[in-house]
Structure 1
Amino acid sequence: MAIEFKRHDYQTRDSCILVKNARISLEGCEFLETEDVNGHHRGVVLKLPEEKVDRMKEIEGEDESIEEYEHYEYDPITGTNLNNPGELRINIETQDLFTHPSESYLIIEGRLTKTDGTAYANDDNVTLTNNALMYLFSNIKYQLSGQEIESLFHPGQASAAAAAGNAGFSVRQSYITKSPDPKGTFSFRVPLKHIFGFCEDYDKIVYGMKQTLTLVRKTDNDAIFRNANVDDGKITFEKVSWFMPHVLPADAEKFQLYKTLDSNELLPVMYRIRQCDYISIPQSTSFTWRLSVKSAPERPRYIIVGFQTDKDGDQEQNPSIFDNVNVRNIFVMLNSARYPAVDYNLSFPKQQFSRANGDVAAFRSKFYNMDELVSNPNITPPITRHFSHCLCSTSASRVSD
Structure 2
Amino acid sequence: MDSVSEKLQIFQPVNVDESIAREEWHTYHPFTKSFKNSDEIEIVINQQDVFMDISQAELYIEAKFLEEVSTVVKTGKCSLTNNVGAFLFESITYELNGKVIDKVRDPGLISTVKSLLCLNQNESTALDVAGWNWPNGTVKSYEPQTDNFSLLIPLNFLLNVFSDYTSAIMGTQKLKLVRAKKDDNCYVNSEGNKKADITILNIELRVKHIYPNDSVKLKLFEAISKDKPVFIGFRKWEIHELPALRQARKDVWTVKAASERARYVVVFFQEDRKDNYKADGTYFDNLKITDVKLYLNSEAYHMNP
TM-score class, shorter-chain normalisation, is: 0.7 to 0.9
**SS of equivalent to 2:261:** coil
Residue equivalent to 1:327: 289
Matched, 1:146 2:109: no
2:61–2:200 contact (8 Å) kept in structure 1? yes
Aligned residues: 274
- Offset of residue 88 of structure 1: 1.1
Larger RCO, structure (CA 8 Å, separation 6 or more): 2
Residue equivalent to 2:278: 316
- Offset of residue 293 of structure 1: 4.0
Q: In 2 relative to 1, CA 212–329 (structure 1 residues): closer, same or farther, beyond 3 Å? A: same
Q: Which amino acid aligns with 2:136?
A: G
- Offset of residue 56 of structure 1: 10
- Offset of residue 166 of structure 1: 7.3
Q: In 2 relative to 1, CA 266–177 (structure 1 residues): closer, same or farther, beyond 3 Å? A: same
Q: In 2 relative to 1, CA 211–125 (structure 1 residues): closer, same or farther, beyond 3 Å? A: same
2:58–2:155 contact (8 Å) kept in structure 1? yes
Residue equivalent to 1:121: none
1:196–1:274 contact (8 Å) kept in structure 2? no
Q: For 2:199 and 2:11, locate their aligned partners in 1 and report how far apart those are by CA, in whole Å.
A: 53
- Offset of residue 99 of structure 1: 1.1
Matched, 1:290 2:281: no
**SS of equivalent to 1:134:** helix
- Offset of residue 84 of structure 1: 3.5
Residue equivalent to 2:194: 231
2:39–2:179 contact (8 Å) kept in structure 1? yes
Residue deviations 1:235-264 (CA, integer Å, cap 9, x gap) = 111111111111111111101111211232
Q: For 1:247 and 1:191, locate their aligned partners in 2 and report how far apart those are by CA, in whole Å.
A: 18
Residue equivalent to 1:263: 226
Structure 1: 5+ residue stretches without partners: 1-52, 118-123, 347-401
2:42–2:174 contact (8 Å) kept in structure 1? yes
**SS of equivalent to 2:87:** helix
Question: Which residues in structure 2 correspond to 1:186-201 (within 5 Å)?
Answer: 186-201=149-164
Question: Which residues in structure 2 correspond to 1:109-120 (within 5 Å)?
Answer: 109-116=62-69
What's the TM-score once normalised by structure 2's chain length? 0.82
Q: Which amino acid aligns with 1:288?
A: V
Structure 2: 5+ residue stretches without partners: 1-8, 71-75, 118-132
Matched, 1:168 2:136: yes
Residue deviations 1:84-105 (CA, integer Å, cap 9, x gap) = 3221111112521111111111
Q: In 2 relative to 1, CA 91–116 (structure 1 residues): closer, same or farther, beyond 3 Å? A: farther
**SS of equivalent to 2:291:** coil
RMSD, matched Cα: 2.6
2:43–2:174 contact (8 Å) kept in structure 1? yes
The structure with more radius of gyration: 1
1:127–1:224 contact (8 Å) kept in structure 2? yes
1:150–1:274 contact (8 Å) kept in structure 2? no
Q: In 2 relative to 1, CA 110–259 (structure 1 residues): closer, same or farther, beyond 3 Å? A: same
Residue deviations 1:303-323 (CA, integer Å, cap 9, x gap) = 111111111222111011011
Q: Which amino acid aligns with 1:225?
A: V
1:150–1:198 contact (8 Å) kept in structure 2? yes
